[in-house]
Structure 1
Amino acid sequence: MRIPSCHMEIEQVFLQLEKHECHSLCITSTNQGEGVSSLAQALTERHLLAGYRTLLVDLNLQNPSLIPLSFMPSDTDVAETNSHYLTFSQHNSVVLSGIAVPTNKAEIVELRQPKNLKKRIETWLKEFDKVIIDASSVSQLNTNNIPAQTIAGCCESTLMVILSGQTLQTEFKDALEKLENHNANIIGHVFNDKYQPSLKTEICREIERLHFLPNVITNKLITFVQNNRFLSTVV
C-alpha cells in the first residue's frame, strides 16, 4: 500500500523528525505486516521533497521491497554511483535512491555486527543527508535476518509502527523492551489504523443495530453521520 508523501499524517511525522534533527532513522514494528515499508518509503519521499539527499536502505530480508536498478551511462563515475543507489519499489512502483537487501550471506553476517553496521551507516551519511532504514519486525529473530534491535541501536533514532486493533499489548511491550536493551532511541510510535474502524463507521454500525427504529429514520441518521464534517476529522 502506498502512502502519499503529502498526507497530513506523514507531514506530522516529518515535522517531529525535524525537531529531533536525526540523520539516521530505523523504522520497525512488533510483527510483520504492520506497514513499516510503506511508512519508510513515504518518509523518504517527503524528505526528498524537502531538499534532503535521502537514502532508503532495505534491511528487511523477510519482506524486501526494493529492487536494484542498473544501467551504464557514458560517464563511468556516474554509472558506478547511480547503479549502486538507484532502486525500484515493487510495492509502490516508484524509483528511489536506495539500497536493496543484501543477498550475499557473508554481507548479512557482517551487518549483524553492530560495529560493522555503524560504519556502513557512517559511510552512507558521507553521501546523503538522511538515511532511513526499513527494518524487519522485532519478532522476526533468526539467522537469516538482521535483527531490528541491532539496526535500531546503530541509528540515531527509531520509529515503531503499531497496527491498531491487531498488535497485542504484551507483544508490543516485549518488543519495546528488546529495543531499549539495545540502546535504541525510540522517538515515537506511529499507529496504522488500516483495520481500526473510524468513529463515524462505529456510530453507523450502532445505528443499524437499532432495529426498533423505522428504516426511514435509520437511513436519515446514517446519512447525517456520514455527511458530518466534524466526524470526518475524528479517527
Structure 2
Amino acid sequence: MDYAMIKLPINYLEIEEIYGNSIGKGLRSVAITSANPEEGCSTLAYALSQRSEVDGKRTLLVEVNMLHPELGDISGHIHTDWLPNPQSADGCIMRSDDVNLDILPAPCDTDVLGFRSIANMSKLMEHWLENYDAVIFDTSPVNARNRNNIPAESICAMVDGTIMIVMAGVTRQTQFKTALDRLTQNDVSLIGVVFNDFLNPRLADEICRETRRLDNWFPNAMQKIRSYVKKSSFFNINL
C-alpha cells in the first residue's frame, strides 16, 4: 500500500491543531495541497474530514487530484465519473461509514476541462455550501503540470483557506518556493504549512546507521552504542 493512503488516527494532537486552525475556527471550505506528488495530501484531507464529522459538522470531501486519485480507494469505494454541475455531481457523492461525511472521488478524464472553469466550480461551491457545513478539497500538487490536471491554485483560490504539506527531507526548497509563488500569484489564503516527517528518520535511527560504518573495527563497542541509543528516551524523541 502506498504510504500516502495510510489512514491517520484523528485523535492525534497534530490533527486537532490543524482542525482547530481551519474548520474548527469557522472556515467552511479548505484545500489540502503540496508542491509535489505523494506528500500526504489525501491522508490529511481524509483525517481532517473525519475530524470535522466527529465535531458534528456535515462534511463533504472532494477529490480534484487527477495525478494520483486515491479517495475512492481509501474510503473503500471505486472511482465514479461525474460532471461539473450540481445535479450530476450529487448523484456520484458517496456516503462513507461516518454518519456526516460524504465523499466525491475524482472525475473522469473527459470531465476535467469542465472543472477548470471558474464559473462551473463557483456554481458547485455555492451548491455544496448550501448543503454542507464544511467542504474539504484534496488537490493535485501545485507543481504538477500534466495535461489532465486540474490546477491546484485555481481550487485553492476559491476556498476560505489552504493548507500546504511539505515532505520533510524530500521536498526541495526550490520546489516549495515555486509552489508558494504560484499560490501567492493567485491570491490564495495560505493558513498553514504542515511538515510530513514520515520519511524523515529519527535521530536514534541515524546514529545507529552511522555506527555500522565502524563495525569492522569495533564491533562490540558499536553494538553497545546502538543498544544504548535505542533505549535512550532523549535520542528517540519524535520531532
Fold shared per TM-score above 0.5: yes
Task: Show CA shifts across 1:113-165 (max 9, x none).
Answer: 22331231121111111111000011222442210000000111111111112
> Of 83, 87, 94, which residue of structure 2 is paired with 1:86?
94
Task: Show CA shifts across 1:44-71 (max 9, x none).
Answer: 111112222111001111211233969x
The answer on whether the counterparts of 2:37 and 2:141 sit within 8 Å (CA) in structure 1 is yes
> Of 126, 131, 134, which residue of structure 1 is paired with 2:135?
131
My pick for the range that moved more, 168-177 or 215-224, is 215-224
SS in 2 for 1:5: coil
Q: Who is 1:33 aligned against?
A: 38
SS in 2 for 1:230: coil
211 and 81 in structure 1: CA distance in 2 versus 1, 3 angstrom threshold: closer
Q: Who is 1:14 aligned against?
A: 19
Question: Residue type of the partner of 1:21?
Answer: G
Task: Show CA shifts across 1:177-219 (max 9, x none).
Answer: 0011111111111111222111121222233344597434332
**Gaps in structure 2 of 5+ consecutive residues:** 1-5, 79-87
The answer on whether the counterparts of 1:87 and 1:100 sit within 8 Å (CA) in structure 2 is no
Listed as ranges, the matches of 1:66-215 within 5 Å are: 66-67=71-72, 84-86=92-94, 97-103=102-108, 105=110, 107-211=111-215, 214-215=218-219
Q: Who is 1:77 aligned against?
A: none
SS in 2 for 1:32: coil
SS in 2 for 1:223: helix
**Gaps in structure 1 of 5+ consecutive residues:** 71-79, 90-94
TM-score by length of 2: 0.80
Residue 50 of structure 1 pairs with residue 55 of structure 2: yes
> Partners in 1 of 2:132 and 2:96 — Cα distance?
18
208 and 29 in structure 1: CA distance in 2 versus 1, 3 angstrom threshold: same
Q: How far apart are 1:18 and its partner, in Å?
A: 4.7
9 and 180 in structure 1: CA distance in 2 versus 1, 3 angstrom threshold: same
The CA RMSD measured in Å over matched residues stands at 2.9
TM-score by length of 1: 0.82
SS in 1 for 2:162: strand
Aligned residue pair count: 220
Q: Who is 1:73 aligned against?
A: none
Q: Which runs of 4+ in 1 moved over 4 A?
A: 80-83, 210-214
Question: Residue type of the partner of 1:115?
Answer: A
The answer on whether the counterparts of 2:143 and 2:178 sit within 8 Å (CA) in structure 1 is no
142 and 205 in structure 1: CA distance in 2 versus 1, 3 angstrom threshold: closer
> Partners in 2 of 1:104 and 1:62 — Cα distance?
11
Question: Residue type of the partner of 1:163?
Answer: M
> Partners in 1 of 2:176 and 2:89 — Cα distance?
39
> Partners in 2 of 1:153 and 1:33 — Cα distance?
22
Question: Residue type of the partner of 1:6?
Answer: N
SS in 2 for 1:188: strand
SS in 2 for 1:126: helix
